[in-house]
A and B are shown apart, each in its own frame.
Chain A
Amino acid sequence: MKIGLFIPCYIDAFYPKTGIATLELLEKLGQEVEYPMDQTCCGQPMANSGCNRDAKETEALFIRNFSKYDVIVSPSGSCVHHIRDNFDAIEQTDEVRHVRKNTYELVEFIHDVLKVREFPWAEFPHKVGMHNSCATLRALRTASMSELGEPFFSKPKTLLSAVKGISFAAPKRPDECCGFGGTYSVTEEAVSARMGLDKVTDHHDAGAEYIVSADTSCMMHQQGCAERNGVPIRFIHIAEILNGARS
């Protein structure tokens, strides 16, 4: 199985550590991984703004970069959601269908495909608050949703539970959106930032030292809100913890 690694723009430019951890973790788990150098973006920003037609060329480039791989893995739930559920600006050829069907978010890939449950090298002696992005929660369904009253499950938490020393905080509104929402974060910046502040405060009040997420974009926004308002909380991508980061 040859894996194509998709590192979205935010991670590439601001959180390279997350990209490196994802790559190293997959390698530790015995996978053959390649990062196509010509990749840019999945087209989500244009599509979410309603300008789906403007995403066409970007989607075509994505297919050129990734169609040769058996699976595509990305440490970003919202991008994977776009590719899987909404990637329709281009014609739906066999190649496109192959890519859409075989693109995984990192946690679900490890949990569902590799079925790995042990990370003997990982130790994180901190109390963490889990942030499931709305894309992972309600579109990719990597955790149970409070609105449906379904029995509790959480793929990211299942993986993290194998990490030595980790403990979990219980925020009051675990499923509440943090307000990032892509372009929403700037078109409605006041509401977006308020939601972000409420989110980080909720985690902080629950005793979390770190917010852990499978979505960097949410955390980029939350970190901005926490820093501006002096909420002492740190952020880390789940890939880094599973790869053995201690802080």
Chain B
Amino acid sequence: MSNKPVPHAKLAAEFLKDEPHRHFHDERLWDMRQKRDEQMHIMPEWQELREQASRLKEHTLAHLPQYLEQFEENARRNGIHVHWARDGAEHNRIVEKILRDHGHSSIIKSKSMITDECEMREYLEPKGISVTETDLGERIQQLDNQLPSHVVVPAVQKLTSDVAKTFAKYYNTDPNIDDPHALAEAQRNAARPVLLSGDTGMTGGNFLVAETGSFVVCTNEGNADLSANLPNLHIATLGIERLVPRMADLGVFIRLLSRSALGSPITQYTTHFRKPKKGGEMHVILVDNGRSERLGMDDFWTSLKCIRCGACMNTCPVYRRSGGQSYGSVYSGPIGAIIDPTFNAKKFSTLPFASTMNGSCTNVCPVKIDIHDQLYKWRRVLAERHEIPFVKREIMKMAGRLLAQPTMYRLAISGTEVALKTMPRFVLYNYLNPWGKHRELPHPVKETFHSWYKKNRLNKAKQHEETQA
């Protein structure tokens, strides 16, 4: 992984240049946010559910080892093989070994961000193991060799005409036919033979249930069920934070998940996997990859409550206008900006600054993660670790000194013409040019409030006193 800070501002500026894409992206995600609002409005218990979901997750995270062991025990009893992966590399080795043991070499896979997080495709493919995405959005991203743009709708930044071009390249379809149904059909036709011939099925999963040793996968395309059931070997990868204690807890999350994500009452498919099918084999890989370390971070551990609904992304005005690719990570948007730095503080040091800290994300989050407060805290952590640009650090130091000295400050902005030249410089930290690139500067005025006050209140009061005397 390259360590260079992701140039979010630059990538976002590029994304904005293309009018059709920028407009479509903003409107599509905003529409999802509005559908979410509609669902919230018809459920009077919405805030209560959020509170319950948050408490359940916090409780589970506080007792994580105990519930994980319970899950493992019950899953084993159900005949599921349970594996533990400390990090992405170990996860990938486990997958490879399972395939080798069976003499398998092709994986059909449904959407799971965590295998992307582990960079599994990059590891397996050079070793001769093919991985085919069966989720339409993930497949499009795979063909274009891009990271997912969004945790729920991975190819959300693409117009149907983009997809038509991609499919034409790989599936020999007509690049000019961009009807969504035709495209979905093209994908089905291309996927079917792969699905039927794939020897290993892989899925992610939304929830692990400790009490039953089962796990739940929520999808809208039904591809997870195909991936899991067509082959005889099913491997599911889940993060260790995906746990809920009891089956009865699940309802709270299922009710919130799709409503928050897409504004639909429930996903088309909610599949419970409890044991391998007859004659088949089932493996669950539980991945840590920095999660237990994050659990120990006072300010950031609650980010592990995330159920990956994407609502924070849909509502984020910055994400909607910068596109998922500009985050340079598997996890983009507000949730990405607070968890990515735990994977690599230098590379993702720019992301907590890719926010106006407006707080809308926190308000929509179904598990009540204080996302925008965590963004604020990350800024402090990164500044203290010197993971912000040197120039910015120096300017802040200067601004801090100047603003602490009233006389110097007054001198610096004396006369509003001067103020106009100087003010933005220290108010906006010497980035005067960026301000004016797409915006006008404020207009100069005759005098500052400070000097008006002196004339019209202080001096008048003095005059008044003198005449009285």
Residues A86 and B376 in contact, CB atoms below 8 Å apart:
yes
Query: Could you tell me how many residues of chain A have their Cβ less than 8 Å away from some Cβ of chain B?
Result: 74
Partner of A188, one of B26, B354, B404, B413: B354
B330-369 interface code vs A (CB 8 A; 1 in, 0 out)? 0000000000000000000000111111111011100000
| Assembly CA distance A17 to B446 (angstroms) | 11
State the Cβ distance, A229 to closest chain B Cβ, in Å.
Answer: 8
Chain A residues with Cβ below 8 Å from B381 are 50
Q: Which chain A residues numbered 111 to 142 have a C-beta less than 8 Å away from chain B? A: 134, 138-139
Interface: A10 (CB within 8 A): yes
The segment from A38-46, A91-99, A160-168 found at the interface with B is A38-46
With A49-B383, A60-B404, A193-B438 known as contacts, the answer to whether A181 contacts B355 (CB < 8 A) is: yes
With A12-B450, A57-B400 known as contacts, the answer to whether A196 contacts B30 (CB < 8 A) is: no
Interface: B41 (CB within 8 A): yes
> Nearest B residue to A11 by beta-carbon distance?
B449
Residues B358 and A7 in contact, CB atoms below 8 Å apart:
no
Residues A40 and B376 in contact, CB atoms below 8 Å apart:
no
Residues B356 and A181 in contact, CB atoms below 8 Å apart:
yes
Residues A61 and B353 in contact, CB atoms below 8 Å apart:
no
Chain A residues with Cβ below 8 Å from B382 are 50
Partner of B429, one of A13, A56, A183: A183
Chain A residues with Cβ below 8 Å from B352 are 50
Chain B residues with Cβ below 8 Å from A138 are 358-360, 362-363
With A191-B9, A194-B321, A225-B439 known as contacts, the answer to whether A46 contacts B396 (CB < 8 A) is: yes
> Nearest A residue to B42 by beta-carbon distance?
A149
State the Cβ distance, B272 to closest chain A Cβ, in Å.
Answer: 31
Chain A residues with Cβ below 8 Å from B388 are 49-51
Query: Could you tell me how many residues of chain B have their Cβ less than 8 Å away from some Cβ of chain A?
Result: 80
Chain A residues with Cβ below 8 Å from B321 are 191, 194-195
Interface: B435 (CB within 8 A): yes
Dominant SS among interface residues on chain A: helix
Residues A189 and B403 in contact, CB atoms below 8 Å apart:
no
The segment from B213-221, B233-241, B451-459 found at the interface with A is B451-459
Interface: A35 (CB within 8 A): yes
Residues A40 and B403 in contact, CB atoms below 8 Å apart:
yes
The residues of B with any CB-CB pair to A shorter than 8 Å are 8-9, 12-13, 16, 22, 26, 30, 37, 40-41, 46-47, 315, 317-318, 321-322, 352-360, 362-364, 376, 378-384, 388, 392-393, 396-397, 399-401, 403-406, 409, 413, 416, 419-420, 423, 427-429, 431, 434-435, 437-445, 447-450, 452-454, 457-458
Show 26 residue pairs from A and B whose CB-CB distance is below 8 angstroms, ordered by the A residue.
Answer: A9-B423, A11-B449, A12-B449, A13-B445, A37-B453, A37-B454, A37-B458, A54-B397, A55-B400, A57-B403, A86-B376, A139-B359, A145-B363, A149-B40, A179-B317, A179-B356, A181-B358, A188-B12, A189-B9, A189-B435, A190-B16, A193-B439, A195-B318, A195-B321, A198-B26, A225-B439
7 A-B pairs with the lowest CB-CB distances in the bound complex, closest first: A181-B356, A50-B383, A50-B379, A57-B404, A54-B400, A224-B439, A193-B438
Kindly list 20 other residue pairs between chains A and B, CB separation below 8 angstroms, not including A145-B363, A148-B47, A188-B12: A7-B450, A13-B413, A14-B423, A14-B443, A14-B445, A16-B445, A38-B406, A41-B403, A51-B383, A51-B397, A52-B383, A134-B356, A175-B360, A187-B9, A187-B434, A189-B9, A190-B437, A194-B22, A195-B321, A224-B440
